[in-house]
Amino acid sequence: MMNLLQLTLSNQIPLQREGTIHDFKWQWLAEGILQCMPKQNYTRSIVLSAGIHGNETAPIEILNQICLDLFQGKLKLKQRVLFILGNPLAIQNGVRYVENDLNRMFGDHYRTLRSDQETQRAELLEKLVTTFFQTDEHKSQRYHYDLHTAIRTSLLPTFALLPYQQHPYDEDLLQSLNAADLDALVYHNETGKTFTHFSSEKFQAASATLELGKAKPFGKNDLSQFSAIHRVLNGLLTQQELPTRSKDAISIFKVVKSIIKKSSDFKLNLHENAPNFSHFPAYTVIAIQDKAEDLLNHSVWILFPNKDVKIGLRAGLLLIKD
């Protein structure tokens, strides 16, 4: 039985690293990384990643359960898939990251940092995803779902971020996110250093970063809150029809500005525990640094506010409703 999470937490290498079970071939590629391929023809190559931030445990548990269900024969695999638990060291220590944020290293940005286990992990993930997509004998459609949880609570608890791209967004991807009962979609306005920006920009994969509730320790998650996305991921791998959306229409936002922390006197004009999607009316001061005020002449919503990031990193995204 392949328990990817248990192997990762215990820092173990499985005794058997590849095999065939229930009509699919599997291969353990590296710590926390498993490739599975059905014997039959497939139409999609799907990357499912979680644990890029080690303390975001609910998505890790969801991906691990999907793996267990495949190996137990509860799901019949019909698409090629690469499972990734992104940052084993951070997962083992129950922290977001150890030295530097792994989700700000992709697209070769890890090369700008001092070499450590996390920069080496970013390099490995890029190489394995590259190999996964480039060795696809069927030239199938490429997808990447990167699952996270937010540091703080959100007024819209579940949402997806779509990387900036100049070509149209994949309609099947958008339909899957809608079927997953997400509360909101957020479209980026510029390229970035995240895992999904990498897979979208380099391989034209239909990519999305999913934010599922708030980060909690292992065993403390109510996974029933994410049953819709779990069903969607199961359906994508088994080629089943998408479930019907049960919530109100999904809210659409677009990023208009990234707030970059430039000095040690940086302050956000928000309560310490203010939730994601907090609202700033027009001409409200959003942030102060270097004695200058940051404000806009139209109302905005803020996502991922974090005054404690390192200088030079993003301290929040400002959004407008579409």
Cβ atoms of 315 and 296 within 8 Å: the answer is no
CA 41 distance to own-chain centroid: 27
Measuring CA to CA, which residue among 101, 105, 206 is closest to residue 162?
A: 206
Residue 48's Cβ-count burial label (10 Å; 0-12, 13-18, 19+) is buried
167 in a known ligand binding site: no
**Which tokens is 193 given?**
């250093």
Closest CA to 211 of 198, 225, 200: 225
Continuous segment of H or E residues that includes residue 19: strand 18-21
Residue 284 three-state SS = coil
Inter-residue contact 191 to 313 (CB < 8 Å):
no
Task: For 266-318, give the DSSP string.
Answer: -EESS-TTPPBTEEE-TT---EEETTEEE--SS-EEEES--TTSPTTSEEEEE
- Sign of the Cα torsion 110, 114, 118, 120 reads positive
The residue annotated as part of the active site, out of 211, 241, 272, 293, is: 211
211 is catalytic: yes
**Residue 111 per-residue DSSP state:** G
What is the enclosing helix (H) or strand (E) of 71? helix 57-71
Residue with tokens 């079970």: 21
Flag whether 118 is marked binding: no
Whether 197 has a binding-site annotation, put simply, is no
DSSP states along 170-231:
PHHHHHHHHHTT-SEEEE-SS--SSHHHHHHHHH--EEEEEEEEE---TT---GGGGHHHHH
Strand partners, 207: 144
State the catalytic residues. 211
Q: Can you say which residues are annotated as belonging to the binding site? A: 53, 56, 148
Q: Residue ranges for the binding site for Zn(2+)? A: 53, 56, 148
